[in-house]
Amino acid sequence: MALDGYSDQTMSRQAMRAELLDAETELKLAYAWRDQRDEKALHRLITAYMRLAISMASKFRRYGAPMPDLIQEASLGLMKAADKFDPDRGVRFSTYAVWWIKASIQDYVMRNWSMVRTGSTSSQKALFFNLRRVQAKLEREASQRGEKLDQFQLRQMVATEVGVPLADVEMMEGRLSGSDFSLNATQSSDEDGREWIDALEDDTAGAAEQVELSHDAECLRGWLVTAMQALNPRERFIVAERKLRDEPRTLESLGEELGLSKERVRQLEAAAFGKMRRNLETQSREVHHFLL
């Protein structure tokens, strides 16, 4: 059901005018869709229960999502429910659809709550939608007993009440404590104030580290040049074509150019690598001996 161009008021009015299905009619429509894929029956079933979807969507307004988007997600959940509903189980469609509608809306809210993924596990979802309510309930009950809970006690009691690890409660509290902020926002009201991004640690290599990396790269390059010079011209050509090109050549193409079999080119390549390895090992031993 596309919702483009419709206001939530218009959709609500249309839903309220839809027919109310009795159990027998609902069952017939469900069988018609399941067994015959009767799209008219499906449309009638969904239209009749759009008021339920809209009603449930309205309960999630406090999370800041646009109402048309919430209704869109609710309608998707309703359609999934209609597609998966089994009329043989003896359950009213409205009872079954509630769970699909709620799940669809909750997934949408959690996906759009923050640029940082808020959570996807069942415990994280339970905390996201119940944390504030459970906290208020526990604080109210403690107040009635004449007690005052500190934050650690409250978190422990929430974890027990919801049945989740304490670490999940602490994580969700942090994520729900504020909305996303731009790193380019200033840290004060002063227009010339430093931006938050300026306070992030610079993870690029420092000057000393850059010099060290450059020196090591230059040494390695020199070692490789020396090792290549120890090869004969044909071996140097094979190594260069196989390892130093942006698009390495195949053994077959080199064999055709050199008048050799593919296997012979492979043997020459292996022999060249063996020579280079021994040369590099000799150079590294000499450098180690010099440093000692």
CB 97 within 8 A of CB 82: yes
Choice between 123 and 117, residue whose per-residue pLDDT is larger: 123
137 and 227 co-located in one domain: no
Instruction: Say which DSSP state 69 is in.
Output: H
Tell me the three state secondary structure of residue 195.
strand
The more confident residue out of 60 and 45 is 45
Q: What is the pLDDT of residues 82-111, one digit of tens each?
A: 999 999 988 899 899 999 998 888 888 877
Look at residue 228 in the predicted model and tell me its pLDDT: 84
Residue type, 280: L
Domain that holds residue 19: 8-112
**When comparing pLDDT for 262 and 219, which is higher?**
262
pLDDT category at 230 given cuts 50, 70, 90 is confident
Tokens matching residue 68: 């048309």
State whether 108 and 12 are in the same domain: yes
186: β partners: 195
State whether 45 and 127 are in the same domain: no
| Mean local confidence (pLDDT), 168-174 | 72
pLDDT surpassing 60 at residue 223:
yes
Same domain, 101 and 52: yes
Backbone torsion region of residue 168, taken as left when φ is above 0, otherwise alpha when ψ lies between -120 and 50, otherwise beta: alpha
C-alpha span between 152 and 34 (Å, rounded): 52
More confident of the two residues 123 and 18: 18
Q: Note whether 159 and 227 are same-domain residues.
A: no
**Quick check: is 256 in a domain?**
yes
Distance CA 268, CA 139 (A): 79
Both 41 and 57 in one domain: the answer is yes
Instruction: Please identify, among 112, 141, 167, the residue that sits at the C-terminal boundary of a domain.
Output: 112
Q: How confident is the model at residue 195 (pLDDT cuts 50, 70, 90)?
A: low
Is the pLDDT confidence value at 188 over 70? no
pLDDT at 35: 93
**98, 49 contact by CB (below 8 A):** no
Query: Per the confidence metrics, is the pTM higher than 0.75?
Result: no
The answer to whether residue 105 sits within a structural domain is: yes
- List Cα–Cα distances, 162 to 118, 132, 149, 156, 192, in angstroms: 17, 12, 17, 10, 46
